[in-house]
Amino acid sequence: MNRERLRLGIDLDGVVADFNAGWITRYNRDFDAELTVDEIVEWDAPTHLTHFPDMGEFWSWARTCGEGRSIFRPLDPYPGAVESLMTLQKAGHKIVILTTKPHFAVHDTYEWLAQHEIPTTEVHILDDKTTVECDVYLDDADHNLEALSTRRSHASVCRFVRPWNSSANRLIDIHDWPDFVELLLGSPSRR
């Protein structure tokens, strides 16, 4: 997959930003709980692991639980994520951010991207990621992976393997950021 200047459609939460560690840390702090990231094995984990009866209640709390900002503002990037994106951008690939956010988190998302110096000039905050054409997609949500592999069949669709998603024949499994860089640039010895 060593073509020049690929458009890489990169998801944020669960791929670049560690959303689960972020909400669990703040939930434990706010509600004197002892949840761990290892307990998250399904997509809507907050409704199964917390006292919130539905995702609407979770999002109401998440609106300001990040030290007065939304949950998305104080998230940490996954180890190696930012450096890998910079490596891919320096190799000539275009980083296209494709993320879904509640309306209250839009500004926090742009600030997060700037703070962490994510190497992109193209950001799409949207529900349907298939509307943005890319050569390669990297996501962790089953519903996005299914839609992308079906409606963008010409593209390579990569599943960032997480406990809350499942494999499919059309997907390329990615286990960590070095895996993704190697897929796009070749083995480290050939760089």
pLDDT band at 169; cut points 50, 70, 90: confident
pLDDT value of residue 191: 38
Q: What is the pTM of this model?
A: 0.94
The secondary structure element, H or E, covering residue 88 is helix 81-90
Alpha carbon distances (Å) from 150 to 155, 170, 182 = 10, 9, 25
Predicted confidence band at 1 (pLDDT cuts at 50, 70, 90)?
low
Are 138 and 184 within 8 A, CB to CB?
no
Q: What is the pLDDT of residues 144-157, one digit of tens each?
A: 999 999 999 999 99
pLDDT tens, residue by residue, 42-82: 999 999 999 999 999 999 999 999 999 999 999 999 999 99
